[in-house]
A and B are shown apart, each in its own frame.
Chain A
Amino acid sequence: MSGGLGLEQRYRRVLRLLPGYYRQRWEEDMVAAFLDSWLTGDPDEDEAIVEFCKPSWAEAASVAGLAARLYLGGAAAPPRYFAWGQAIRRAVLAVTLVHALLAVNVLVFLVWSRRLVGWLPAPPASLVVAPGGVWDMVYYLVCLAWIVIFLTLALGHYRTARVLAALAIVPGLVALLQAQLTGIMPAPFGPWIFWVLVDLAPVLAMTAFHRDAPATAPGPWLLALPAGYVLVYGPLLALQVTGNFAWLPDFSGLCCILVSLACLAHVPRARSRQANGSGVWSLALVLLAAVAGAYRIVTLTDYLHDPHLINVSLAELLIVLAAVALVAPDAARAQAATPAPPPHPHAMAT
C-alpha cells in the first residue's frame, strides 16, 4: 500500500534503535507485522491511520527493550555485542562490589565505634561515629542493601538485584535534592556525579543481566568481598588508626588507584593472546577507568582552593590513563574475537 509510508516510516525510525545486523534480518518482517496490526482494509480509514497515527509508547518501549538486550548481547550474539554485554556485566558487578565494600566498611566502623562487640579494643576518638537521626538509619539500611544487592547479583538473582538497587539509590537522590534545595550541598558537582556514575548508571546497566546473559561464576565474586575488604580497607584503616590522614585518598582517588592496580594486574593476561576471555576483562577495565576518570575530573572542582590536592588528583588521573592504555589494545581486539556461547537449551525457548 503506497499510502502506508507515513506510519511505516515512523515505525522504521523506531527500529533504528536496533543493531544493524538485526534490522537486516528482521526489519521487513517487523514492519509488515506492525502495519498488519494497524491497517483495517478500509481504504479511507487506512489512509487516515497512516497519515496521523504513530507507534505507541508501549510499542517503542518493546523495541527499546529488544535493542538493549541485543546491544548487551548474551548467548548466540555476534562477538562485538557479546563482548560489550559481558564487559558491562562485569563492570556492573565490580561497581556493585565497591558499593558492598563501602557498606561493609561503614558497618564495621559502626559496630566498632558503638562498642557492639565487647572484646574489641576501644576505637580511636577520630573514628567514633556519633549517634545519628533518621537519615543515618536510612544510610545504614542502604549500606546493608548494597551488600545484599551484590550477593544476589553474584548468585544470579538478577531481578531481585535490579529491584533492590533501584530502591537503594532513591534515598541518595532524596538527600541530594534536599541538600540542593536547602543550600547545604558540600560540593557543587561531586555528590551529583557520584549519584549518576556510581548509583544510577550501574542500576541502568543491570539491564545487561537479561535472560540470554551467561551465568556468572559466583565463587570468585563472593571471595572478592572479604578479600577486597582486607586488601583495600586494611591499609586505609591502618592509615586512619595511625593518624596518617593526609595519605588517605578521597573516594574518586581510591577508585582511580583500584582501577589502575586492576589494569596492572591484568596486563600479563592482556598481553598473552592465548588467555581465554582476557579481552572482555580489558573492555570492562576500560569502562571502569572511564567512570573513575570522569569522576576524578569532575571532583577536581572540589579542590580549586588547594593546589596540592589538585596536583594529587591530576597524578591519580594520569596514573589511571597510563594503566588503562596498557589494556586498551586487548579491549579493542575483544570486540572481534569474543564468540558467544550457543543458546542454552532452556534459555533459548524464552
Chain B
Amino acid sequence: MTGQAFFVLTALADGPRHGYGIVGEVAELSQGRVKLKIGSLYGVLDRLTAGGLIEPDREEAHDGRLRRYYRLTRDGRRALAEEAELRAATARVVWARLGLTGPAATGAGG
C-alpha cells in the first residue's frame, strides 16, 4: 500500500469525508508532508473504490455543488488495520535497532 493510499484510508477511519475534506485531513495527518493534488487524490480514490476498500456514503449540496462523501468499507477497515500493524511492527524494529523505546525518545514529540 502506498503512502498516499494509507493516508487516505486513515483520513476516512473516523468517519466519511468529501474530496477536499480528505485532502485537508491527509495534510494534517502527515503534518503537511503529503499535499494531495486533486488529480492524484482521485487516482487513489478510484483505485480504492475499484478495490472495494472505500465506497460512496452520501451527497450533500454546498454552494450549488454536490459534495460526495466516502467511507471505509469493512474490507478497507481490515486492510488499514493490517497496514497499520505492519508499519507499527516495522517502526518497533527500527526503534529497537536504534536503541530507542519509541518516537518520544527521538525528540520528535510524536
Interface positions of A (Cβ within 8 A of B)? 1-2, 4, 22, 26, 28-37, 39, 58-59, 61-66, 69, 76, 211-212, 343, 345-350
| Given the contacts A59-B37, A343-B50, A350 and B5 also touching, CB distance less than 8 Å | yes
What's the least CB distance linking A138 to chain B, in Å? Answer: 36
23 A-B pairs (CB sep. < 8 Å): A1-B65, A26-B42, A32-B62, A33-B20, A33-B41, A33-B42, A35-B63, A36-B62, A58-B37, A59-B37, A61-B39, A62-B38, A62-B39, A65-B40, A65-B43, A66-B42, A343-B47, A346-B1, A348-B48, A348-B50, A348-B51, A349-B79, A350-B4
Which residues of chain A are near B37, meaning CB under 8 Å? 58-59, 61-62
A22 to B46, CA, bound (A): 9
Choose one: B1, B39, B47, B68; the contact of A63 (CB below 8 Å).
Answer: B39
Are B42 and A29 within 8 A (Cβ)?
yes
Which residues of chain B are near A346, meaning CB under 8 Å? 1
* The 9 nearest A-B residue pairs measured at CB: A348-B51, A33-B19, A62-B39, A36-B20, A62-B37, A63-B39, A349-B1, A32-B65, A350-B2
| Given the contacts A346-B1, A350-B2, A66 and B20 also touching, CB distance less than 8 Å | no
By beta carbon, the residue of chain A nearest B1 is A349
Are B47 and A212 within 8 A (Cβ)?
yes
A349 to B65, CA, bound (A): 28
What's the least CB distance linking B1 to chain A, in Å? Answer: 4
A62 to B42, CA, bound (A): 10
| Given the contacts A1-B64, A65-B39, A349 and B19 also touching, CB distance less than 8 Å | no
B12 contacts the other chain (CB 8 A): no
Are A76 and B38 within 8 A (Cβ)?
no
Are A35 and B2 within 8 A (Cβ)?
no
Interface size range of chain B in the complex = 20 to 34
What's the least CB distance linking B26 to chain A, in Å? Answer: 12
Which residues of chain B are near A2, meaning CB under 8 Å? 64
Residues of B contacting A: mostly: helix
A212 to B5, CA, bound (A): 14
Which residues of chain B are near A1, meaning CB under 8 Å? 63-65
Chain B contacts with A in 27-76, Cβ cutoff 8 A: 37-48, 50-53, 62-68
B23 contacts the other chain (CB 8 A): yes
Which residues of chain B are near A22, meaning CB under 8 Å? 46
What's the least CB distance linking B59 to chain A, in Å? Answer: 9
A33 to B52, CA, bound (A): 22
Which residues of chain B are near A62, meaning CB under 8 Å? 37-40, 43
Are A350 and B19 within 8 A (Cβ)?
no
What's the least CB distance linking A211 to chain B, in Å? Answer: 8
A29 to B54, CA, bound (A): 15
Are B65 and A39 within 8 A (Cβ)?
no
Which residues of chain B are near A348, meaning CB under 8 Å? 47-48, 50-53
- Best-surrounded residue of A26, A32, A34, A349 (most CB of chain B within 10 A): A349
Are B42 and A35 within 8 A (Cβ)?
no
B18 contacts the other chain (CB 8 A): yes
Which residues of chain A are near B5, meaning CB under 8 Å? 349-350
Which residues of chain A are near B40, meaning CB under 8 Å? 62, 65-66
Which residues of chain B are near A63, meaning CB under 8 Å? 38-39
What's the least CB distance linking B41 to chain A, in Å? Answer: 7
A1 to B63, CA, bound (A): 5
Choose one: B4, B67, B79; the contact of A32 (CB below 8 Å).
Answer: B67
- Best-surrounded residue of B9, B19, B52, B62 (most CB of chain A within 10 A): B19
By beta carbon, the residue of chain A nearest B4 is A350
Are B20 and A28 within 8 A (Cβ)?
no
A347 to B1, CA, bound (A): 7
A58 to B48, CA, bound (A): 23
20 further A-B pairs in the complex, CB-CB below 8 A; given A4-B63, A32-B19: A2-B64, A29-B68, A30-B19, A33-B23, A36-B18, A36-B19, A39-B63, A61-B37, A62-B38, A62-B39, A62-B43, A65-B39, A65-B43, A343-B47, A343-B51, A349-B5, A349-B79, A350-B1, A350-B44, A350-B47
